[in-house]
Amino acid sequence: MPAGKLATPGQVLENKEFSGLIDIYADNVTIRNSIVHDGIRVRGSHVLIDHVATSGIAISGGTGHVIQYSNLSGGDDGFHISSTLEPVSGVIIRHNYVHDRRPPKGAHTDGIQVRGVRKLSVVCNNIDLSPYDKTQTAVVFLEWANGGNRDVVVDHNWLNAGGTTLVVAAKNLRVTDNRFGRGFRWNVCRLGNDDAGRSTFFSAGNVWADNGRPVVLCGQTR
């Protein structure tokens, strides 16, 4: 069916295949067990995206979003979260597979790029950008913009490749029990572009996937 703008609160779309881009402007919208060929953009609040195959998901407004058990391939960023237009808060990204990115000419790609959020959980995802190519910036890119990133959890994920796997610029950040691949080009962790990125964050239980040994992230020793 054709894609387009979803502006009716409470819509539930299940078992559909959409030929283009979906724009979600309403609150309490659910897309479940569906295919969206050209990506999803979210501006409403309390949006649930569950078991969806798509090229990428951009969140540029609202609160209380959950994206789970979805397959994101093709396109530039797997997830792009930004408070440029409206504040974004309370986002849960869990049990998703991000892979095989194909950005358009001149664009870069990240598994998750975050440019301003309050309360973000990235839990139990498989984000694998391998093999590395020059379009890749980071698997998880926490960029200090639009008021910064606060109260972020990155926990129990498989993270691999990117120019750098993890770029850190956030306040009250916890990076715990993740497994890291060695497919990155430059380094596994880099401090971000603001003083927030140079402050201490909590890091524990992170290991290399190939041998189970601890990963030291940006000098953190815990």
- Are 62 and 47 within 8 A, CB to CB? yes
Positions in the chain short of pLDDT 50: none
Per-residue pLDDT, 205: 96
User: Tokens 């959950």 sit at which residue?
Assistant: 66
Per-residue pLDDT, 52: 98
Per-residue pLDDT, 81: 98
Question: What proportions of the chain, in percent to the nearest 5, are helix, strand and coil?
Answer: 0, 50, 50
Tokens of 190: 């880099």
- Are 208 and 186 within 8 A, CB to CB? no
Tokens of 77: 């960023």
Per-residue pLDDT, 106: 76
Per-residue pLDDT, 193: 76
Q: Which long-range contacts (CB under 8 A, 24 or more apart) does 105-109 make?
A: 107/76, 107/135, 108/76, 108/135, 108/136, 108/137, 109/75, 109/76, 109/77, 109/78, 109/135, 109/136, 109/137
Per-residue pLDDT, 113: 97
Per-residue pLDDT, 6: 92
